[in-house]
Amino acid sequence: MMSSHLYAKLNEQDSEYRSRLITISTHGKSVTMPRRTLSLRGTYSESRAVLNPLVRGINEVYYLLDEETLNGIDNDKEKMLEFCKRLQAGFLKINCEKEISFFVFSYESQGKKPTPNQIAYLANLVTGSIYNDIIIPPIIHGISGKDYVEYLEGFMESLDSYVRNPRIMGSIPHVAHIDLIDICNFYAKNNVTFFALDCDGKNPIDMYPNVNEVYGTIRNIEKELGGEECCCLHGINVRRPRGLLKKGFAPAKDILVYAMGFNSFCSSHLKPRLTPDLWEKMPPPEFAWVFNRNDYGYYPTNTRDVESFPKETDAAVTIDDILSSSISKIKEKAKLFNTEQQGLEARYIQKRLMEQTLPKYLEGKKRANDILKQVKKRMPIVCL
């Protein structure tokens, strides 16, 4: 099965890092990468709040499902209608004619491979929306690589019943490396060239063996493609770096995913893995961590470091907005600030790639310099 009418063109490849300038096209829309994908889910989603045209272009709708929810939608017509309405609601205020959007369903199966009926229904749900430009097989957690491949085989077969010439981005779960090999081989054999790697709330540099396996698959596919066509890699659930107050900053590992071979990424949708009682008892944070594009550091808002941040009056959220917000709103505003800053930085990286000056630019970011050295060592570029 081939992902027809979904195409990526390689424009520039950096000489020292895996960063590359590419253009993806589907349904008559084109977007240049690297790009910060915006989350489109809920009233205060990134895509609804960040309106800067330099940042916009790709939307990700993330939805967590389990067996009980799936069976409820399948067996109850009212629940089905409500579910479908929620999926469509976020698209009413975005420019669907120019922006590329896709759904990411994450299915908690409690370690069980979905039944054939469940697989067929998942295929039905994913293909039913006119807003879903790229089909991503729902990510199944807790099953072996062999079972995941069998699930994918059933999913691809079910797609033929619902859509013609599907545009597919292969979902890759966070699994053991030995299981990952079977999944990558399946996609390669089925001519899939777009991939979405679930980082499961982690940073890709901490799971570099898996990232390198996907990268190796991509390079092997590109050998066969030849010419200017290339692959595309999207990161799901990429975590913001955690910082220590006593240190005063955290290196911006997340923005460095572009140097690791990712063409786009979206922030993590996962909550801290706490029991419900502990989650409810957690007090609202009195400060938040914010991204400084000048040095690739994250800084806590309760320090004077943030006073030296660049002032951008036309931003969706400014540093002054964050500092003047209530405790209950500070985390939400900081997230939108970080998202827009990452999006603007992605566009600037595009410029540096065109000028072939990216290595010098990245290596001038003092807070992330040590991480960048690890990227170069653990995730070296492999030329064809």
Per-residue pLDDT of 156-189, as tens digits, reads 999 988 988 899 999 999 999 999 999 999 999 9
At residue 326, the pLDDT reads 85
> Would you state the pLDDT for residue 295?
94
Inside any domain, residue 106: yes
Is 383 contained in some domain? no
**Is there a domain that residue 1 lies in?**
no
Q: pLDDT (tens digit, 9 = 90+) per residue, 338-348?
A: 999 999 999 99
CB 179 within 8 A of CB 142: no
pLDDT of residue 276: 59
- Distant-in-sequence, close-in-space partners of 258: CB < 8 Å, separation ≥ 6: 19, 34, 346, 349
Give me the sheet containing 264-267, strands edge to edge.
Answer: 35-36, 264-267, 232-238, 194-202, 169-172
pLDDT of residue 278: 55
DSSP summary character for residue 139: E
Domain at 188, CATH number: 3.20.20.105
Which domain covers residue 164, as residue numbers? 6-378
Spell out a b/e string for 151-160, using b for 16 or more CB atoms within 10 Å of the CB, else e: bbebbbebbe
Residue 151 is encoded by which pair of tokens? Answer: 């699930």
The predicted pLDDT at position 8 comes to: 97
Whole-number CA gyration radius for the chain: 20
At CA 227, angle to CA 15 and CA 23, rounded to 5? 70
Considering its fold, how many domains does the chain have in total?
A: 1
Helix 77-89 and helix 67-75: axis angle, to 10°?
Answer: 110
Domain for residue 384, yes or no?
no
Q: What is the pLDDT of residue 280?
A: 57
Averaged in consecutive runs of 10 residues, what is the pLDDT profile of the chain (384 residues)?
73 97 96 97 83 94 92 92 86 86 93 93 90 95 94 95 91 95 96 96 94 97 93 96 80 96 94 60 73 94 82 80 86 92 96 97 95 96 74
Domain membership of residue 285 (yes or no) is: yes
pTM above 0.85, yes or no: yes
Is 133 part of any domain? Answer: yes
Asked if residue 14 is part of any domain, the answer here is yes
- Predicted local distance difference test score (pLDDT) of residue 328: 81
